[in-house]
Amino acid sequence: MDRVRNPFAPGAGNQPPELAGRDSILSDADIAMQRVLQGRHSKSQILLGLRGVGKTVLLRKLEAMAEGHGYLNSFIEAPEDKTLTELLYPKIHQVLRKLSVIENAKARTLSAMQSLRSFASVFKISVGDVSISVDPEAGSADSGILEYDLSDLFIRVGEAAKAANKGWILLIDEVQYLSGEELSALIVAIHHTNQKNLPIIFFGAGLPQVAALSGDAKSYAERLFDYPPVGALDKESAIAAIKQPITEEEEQITDKALERIVEQTKGYPFFLQEWGFQVWNIADQSPIHEANIDQATPAALRRLDDSFFRVRFDRLTPKEREYVCAMAKLGKGPYRSSDVADIMGESVQKLGTCRAKIINKGMIYSPSYGDIAFTVPMFEDYLIRTQRLKPRTGSI
C-alpha cells in the first residue's frame, strides 16, 4: 500500500487521524470554557493518565477549541530543569501584548504589565530578548513569596482579559514535574481568580499521582479541579481509531485484523498508532488481513523498544534499573513494595530512597498505599523481553 498515504502518526503529542473515545472529556471541557467566558463558574481540569494515552494530544485539542471561543492561550510543558516562573513569564508577556492593542483593556493591561515586571524582578527572571518597557509597581507581585505573587499576577491578567471581553486559558503538560511550592502557588492563583469571577481557566495533564500531589499541596484542590481519567480506549473506540483513518483513505481492514490490533495494543492510543502505521506499510494491498498484523508486530515492538521504552529505561541508574526489573519479575502490576524488596533481598525501608527517585523520574507511581505500578503501559513486557528476565514462578 502507498506509504505516502499512511494516515497514522505515532509520535509524542502527534494528533491522531481519529481522536476516538474522548468525546465526554472534550464536551465537558468545551462547556467549562464557554461558562467561564460568560462569567459563570466552572472548574478547571487536570487530565490524569499513564504515558501514551494521549493526554498531550487532548491538551492540544483543548487549546484549539479555546482559540475558537476567543481565548488567549498559553501552553507550557513543565520540564524537570526549569522553574514555573521561567516558563510563565514569556507566555504571560505574550498574552498581555495581545491585550494591549484592545482599547478597552489598555489601562488594565498596563497594570498587569507592571505586575509582571515586578514579578520578573523579584524572582530574577531573564528570558532571552523578552523585556518589559514599563516600571514595576510597588506592592504588586513583588513580595518574593510565590504563592502570593502568582495570585497577584493572575488577578491582574484576568482583569485585563475581562476588560477586553476575552478569556485566558493556561495549559500545562507534565504537571507532576512542578515542585510542591509551584503546584501550591498555581492552585492558590486559580482559586483566587475563581473567587473574583475572572475569565481564566486552567487545564493540566499529568501522571496519576498528580491528584494526590494537588491534594497534598492544598486540601481544597479536590473541590477546585476535576480530574478526568485518560486511559486505554474501550474496544469500540480502539477499533474506530484504526478503522476510520483506513476507510477515509478508501482502503479496508477485516474485522479479525482489527481485533488482533486491539489485542496487541490493549487499546492504548500510542500503541494503536504504531501498529496502524506498521500494518499499513507492510500490507501489500487492501483489505488488510490478520496475517498482516502478525507480520507488523515485530516491527512495531522494535520501534517501541528503541524509542518509547528505551528512552525511559536509560534514564535510570543501575540500582533503579534493578528495582524496576524486580517489579517486572512479579508479572503484571500493581506490585507490593514489600514483594519487590523481597526479590531484591533488601528491606522496604532501605529501598525507600531508590523508590522515591524512580517516582520523581515519572517511571512509577503509587496507586494506593504500599502499592506501586509502572506509568508506562506494558513496560514489564519490555523489560522481560529485552533484559531476559525470568518471571518469578506463580507471579503471572
- Do 45 and 171 lie in a common domain? yes
**391 lies in some domain:** no
- DSSP E strands: which ranges in the chain? 44-48, 71-77, 167-173, 200-206, 225-226, 335-336, 364-365, 371-374
170 strand-pairing partners: 74, 202
CA 206, 51, 266: angle at the middle one, nearest 5? 135
Where does the pLDDT of residue 12 fall: very low under 50, low under 70, confident under 90, or very high at 90 and above?
Answer: low
* pLDDT confidence band for 394 (50 / 70 / 90): low
Place of cell 531508590: 354
Give the domain range for residue 328. 318-386
Residues 6+ apart with CB under 8 A from 36: 42, 167, 199, 200, 201
55 in Cβ contact with 275 (< 8 Å):
no
Is 50 exceeded by the pLDDT of residue 205?
yes
Q: Is the peptide bond before 298 cis (omega within 30 degrees of 0)?
A: no
Q: Are residues 147 and 41 part of one domain? A: yes
Nine-digit cell at 113? 504589565
* Confidence at residue 396, expressed as pLDDT on a 0 to 100 scale: 43
Cis omega (within 30 of 0) for bond into 334 = yes
Taking only the tens place, the pLDDT of each residue in 104-138 is 999 999 999 999 999 999 998 875 555 566 767 77
Name the grid cell of 207: 501522571
Tell me the average pLDDT of the chain.
93
Query: What order do you get walking across the sheet with 335-336 strand by strand?
Result: 335-336, 371-374, 364-365
pLDDT for 51 beyond 90:
yes
- Helix 84-99 / helix 180-195 crossing angle, nearest 10 deg: 30
Are both 91 and 211 inside the same structural domain?
A: yes
CB 89 within 8 A of CB 109: no
114, 40: one domain: yes
Whether 184 and 282 share a structural domain:
no
- 281 and 327: one domain? no
